[in-house]
Structure 1
Amino acid sequence: MKIEINSIDDDQVIDSKFVTAKTNYGYALEVLYPLIDRLDIQRNLQNPSFYNRLRLDLLKGCVMPPITLALVVEKGKLPSNIKDAEAYITSNISNAFVLDGIQRLNTLHRASEQSDDVEKIDNSRPLFLNILICLKPDNLLYRMITLNNGQKPMSANHQIEILLGNIYKFKDLDIIISTEKEKGKKGKYEHSFNKSDIIKSYLAFLAKSTAIDNKKIIESKMDELLANKIIASKITEDKIQFNDVITLINRLSSSEYLMKWFSNTNNIIGFSVGIRKSFDYVNSDEIANVENAFKVFEMAFKALNLSTIKLSKERRNLSSFFIEQYNVLNGLGEIDLLDKLNENVL
Structure 2
Amino acid sequence: MSLNIYSIDFDNVIKSRYITASTNYKFAIEQLVPLISRLEIQRNIQDSKFYNRLEKDLVKGCIMPALTLAFIDPKGIEIQDLEEMRVFLLKNIDEGFILDGIQRLNTLSRTFNNSPELNIDAILFLNIVICSSMDNLLYRMITLNNGQKPMSARHQIEILTTNMFEFEIESSDIPVLNEKKYKQKRVKIAFNKADFVKGYLAFLANSTNIENQKIIEEKLDELIADKILDSNVTDDEIEFVDIINLINRFSEDPSNFKWFKNVNNLIGFCVGIKINYPLLNNEDSESFKAAIELFEEAFKSFNYSKIKVGRMRRTLINYYVKNWGTLRNYQRLELVDVLSQVD
* TM-score, with length taken from structure 2: 0.92
Count of paired positions: 332
> Matched residues in 2 for 1:295 and 1:48: separation?
57
- Is 2:318 the counterpart of 1:331? no
Aligned CA distance change for structure 1 residues 61 and 226 (closer, same or farther; 3 Å): same
Aligned residue among 117, 122, 125 for 2:119: 122
Secondary structure of 1:152's match?
coil
Aligned CA distance change for structure 1 residues 245 and 65 (closer, same or farther; 3 Å): same
CA contact (8 A) 1:43 1:153 kept: yes
Amino acid at match of 1:90: L
- Is 2:131 the counterpart of 1:134? yes
CA contact (8 A) 1:183 1:192 kept: no
Q: Who is 2:293 aligned against?
A: 295
Secondary structure of 2:333's match?
helix
- Is 2:97 the counterpart of 1:110? no
CA contact (8 A) 1:41 1:161 kept: no
Amino acid at match of 2:139: Y
* Structure 1: runs of 5 or more not aligned: 171-176
Q: Who is 2:268 aligned against?
A: 270
Cα RMSD for the two superposed structures? 1.8
> Matched residues in 2 for 1:287 and 1:160: separation?
29
- Is 2:283 the counterpart of 1:285? yes
Q: How far apart are residue 161 of structure 1 and its match?
A: 1.5
Q: Who is 2:170 aligned against?
A: 183
1:260-302 CA-to-partner distances (Å, cap 9, x unmatched) read 1111111100000000011111110121010011011111111
Q: Who is 1:149 aligned against?
A: 146
Amino acid at match of 2:142: I
User: Post-superposition, which runs of at least 4 consecutive aligned residues in structure 1 deviate over 4 A?
Assistant: 74-77, 186-189
Q: Who is 1:173 aligned against?
A: none
> Matched residues in 2 for 1:128 and 1:272: separation?
39
Q: How far apart are residue 223 of structure 1 and its match?
A: 1.7
Q: Who is 1:7 aligned against?
A: 7
CA contact (8 A) 1:78 1:133 kept: no
Q: Who is 1:31 aligned against?
A: 31
Q: How far apart are residue 95 of structure 1 and its match?
A: 0.2
Secondary structure of 1:6's match?
strand
CA contact (8 A) 1:78 1:135 kept: no
CA contact (8 A) 1:275 1:323 kept: yes
CA contact (8 A) 2:175 2:191 kept: no
Amino acid at match of 1:124: D
> Matched residues in 2 for 1:272 and 1:301: separation?
19
Aligned residue among 227, 232, 236 for 1:229: 227
Amino acid at match of 2:132: L
Aligned CA distance change for structure 1 residues 290 and 195 (closer, same or farther; 3 Å): same
> Matched residues in 2 for 1:67 and 1:3: separation?
14
Q: Who is 1:49 aligned against?
A: 49
> Matched residues in 2 for 1:183 and 1:203: separation?
19
Q: How far apart are residue 77 of structure 1 and its match?
A: 4.2
